[in-house]
Amino acid sequence: MTAPTDSPTDTPAAKHRSFPIFQGLLPLDRSRIPVEVLAGVTLAALAIPEVMGYTSIAGMPVITGLYTILLPVLVFAVFGSSRHLVVGADSATAAVMAAGLAGLAATGSSQYVALAGLLALMAAVLLLLARLIGLGFLADFLSRTVLIGFLTGVGVQVACGQVGGMLGIPSGKGVTIGSHLFDNTVGKLISTLQNIDQISWTTVAVSAGVMATILGMKFITGKIPGALLAVIGSIIISWHWNLASHGVATLGVVPGGLPKIAIPDVTWSDIPALAGTAASIFVLILAQSAATSRAYAAKYNDAFDENVDLVGLGVASIAAGLSGTFPINGSPTKTQMVDGAGGRSQVAQITTGVIVAVVLLFLTVPLQYMPKAVLSTVVFLIGIELIDIAGMRRILRLRLDEFVVAALTGLTVVFVGVEQGIVLAIVASLIDHLRRSYRPPTAVIEPTGEDDPNRRDWRSVPTDPSIRTVPGLAIYRFSSSLYYANANFFAEQVLAFATGASDADPLDWLCIDAASIDDIDYTGGQTLIQLHGELSEHGVRLVLAEVQAGVRVELDRFGITELVGDDAIYATLRGAVHAFEQRPTNATPAADATPTAEPANPGDGGDSTG
């Protein structure tokens, strides 16, 4: 990044910021264009079978999978900020959509397709609204732990949902126990396997061949797209030996040509029924796209603006809704495909879009011979890859509490539903955040043993009311905002210093280390006022140090600054210690003491006292 000049608005970077388009393309390195184009060809080869497979999760016509990596990809390349993010069909998003549309229309029907387009447009509105009113932070409320659990659950659901297609048997609708239909993932798998007597061994052979091809290519070399080889090979075999006559279900006639741009044929009354699903998709897009963009921007030290990405994702979702396909998302797997092939800008994604357009115009006729078992097997393997056993084991080893949250989220997806899993994921993340701030880390600052004040160093130790920073003074560190949920905890610990003091171990001053307190709400302010009075009754003066500017404004507004006095708020901990040691010896403990000047080098020493 170049240094600022006298006229910063004239720099190209400033112009790009003021007119935020083509940020994923510019500046364009012409020497890399051949590499970028090759990366785009690689993405097309890998992504085309993948997005066709995702249509079986979404319940959409197979051609609509290709639509997700046509206009949405091209539009995001223009309006997005990330140089690396690839948008398109996504397994988790497709699963959420299918769950939300279940029962509203027949899978694959024109009404179903229209409702899917409406969902894409509703998600677009939420994304653009998030940009306007600054809701991008919501992406941070799905922790990485919860995402691992959620995607693991989605992987189990996706894989189980493809068993019927791989075996050539009808997929079940669930099992009935008593009068209740259990149509979750496990129930559907059980009911599917009850049709095992209808198994098509020719279909099983196709599935096995596809799986062997994909896994074999991964084992031999990662440079040859096994899924693409499997698709091409299965089409040729199906056409030559007429597999349809041997009981293998094929796609049938696939419409060719570019998608028609039109508003979905829906009514206003359809919107309320889809509101919850649209909100779930919105949160999933926020979390997954933001995490992917951040990761690759950090990897290559690229500029990245989440707000611009929100606009790009919103406009891409509009393109999806108007082109007759289903909601799209930023895809970690496709982004990795491009990165692994050497792509470093949206030039690669534009190349993919052009190739998809060529396929739609000239190459859809052969698709009619493709066995459906091919797509089922491709999606099954994608589902297996989503099951992050290693990630769950790592969380279990490092943080048992977070593992429980991740496991509950995954189990909810499998046994209840995807939308419910997202809700639980958000709620669990919020509860985990509140749990940490409800009982935040606290400490007492104590000297390390050096008697010379000019050479004294400090360290923080777990809170113990008997510890003194220096005789008569205790510095108490509170590492969180002070708000209604933790105010009582704060008050109990502070008062313990005063009530536990004795003549042998007196306490004259109690200093709050406020460096980590970034906000004080009304309850927190009233708690400080109450503590000032109670500490005074015990002959203890309350002072504060390292108060942030925003918190100082809140102290002024609540009347705390006037109550304790300006001379009770110090810029540094060392300044508070110095003032205490230089206080008049005949002053009463609770009296306000005017601090003297701080040492010339208050930054010397360890911990935050510097």
Q: What is the pLDDT of residues 548-559, one digit of tens each?
A: 999 999 999 999
**CB atoms closer than 10 angstroms to residue 342:** 14
What is the CA angle 380-107-231, rounded to 5? 40
Please count the residues of the chain: 610
CA dist list (Å): 460 to 293, 450, 454, 541: 37, 15, 19, 21
CB distance 154 to 386 below 8 Å? yes
CB distance 105 to 428 below 8 Å? no
Distance between CA atoms of 475 and 247, rounded to whole angstroms?
79
pLDDT value of position 202: 95
3-state SS assignment for residue 370: coil
Is this model's pTM higher than 0.75 or not? no
DSSP state string for 120-132: HHHHHHHHHHHHH
For the record, the structure tokens of 440 come out as: 């935040």
Phi first, then psi: give them for residue 326, nearest 5 degrees: -110, 170
Give 449's contacts (C-beta < 8 A, 6+ positions apart). none
526-564 burial by CB neighbour count: b if 16+ within 10 A, else e?
ebbeebbeebbeeebbbbbbbbeeebeebbeebebbeeb
Q: What is the pLDDT of residues 68-82, one digit of tens each?
A: 999 999 999 999 999
The position carrying tokens 């075996």 is 167
CA dist list (Å): 138 to 131, 202, 283: 11, 48, 7
How many Å from the N-terminal Cα to the C-terminal Cα in the chain?
Answer: 32
Greatest pairwise CA separation for the chain in angstroms: 105
Distance between CA atoms of 191 and 175, rounded to whole angstroms?
6
Which of the 8 DSSP states describes residue 259? P
- Domains of the chain by range and CATH? 66-166+251-433 (no CATH), 442-609 (3.30.750.24)
CA atoms within 13 A on the CB side of 74: 14
CB distance 165 to 405 below 8 Å? no
Distance between CA atoms of 157 and 175, rounded to whole angstroms?
16
Please choose, from the candidates 434, 473, 467, 441, the residue with its C-alpha nearest in 3D space to the C-alpha of residue 568: 473
The three state secondary structure string of 56-103 is HHHCCCCHHHHHCCCHHHHHHHHHCCCCCCCEECCHHHHHHHHHHHCC
pLDDT value of position 328: 97
CB distance 228 to 48 below 8 Å? yes
Quick one: how far is CA 433 from the chain centroid? 15
pLDDT value of position 450: 60
CB distance 478 to 440 below 8 Å? yes
**CB atoms closer than 10 angstroms to residue 209:** 18
**CB atoms closer than 10 angstroms to residue 174:** 18
Strand spans (E) along 290-369: 329-330
pLDDT value of position 16: 44
Q: What is the pLDDT of residues 158-204, one digit of tens each?
A: 899 999 999 999 988 888 888 888 888 999 999 999 999 999 999 99
Give 273's contacts (C-beta < 8 A, 6+ positions apart). 104
pLDDT value of position 597: 36
Q: What type of residue sits at position 25?
A: L
Q: Determine how β-strand 442-447 pairs with β-strand 472-478.
A: antiparallel
pLDDT value of position 139: 67
Q: Which residues of the chain have pLDDT under 50?
A: 1-17, 588-610
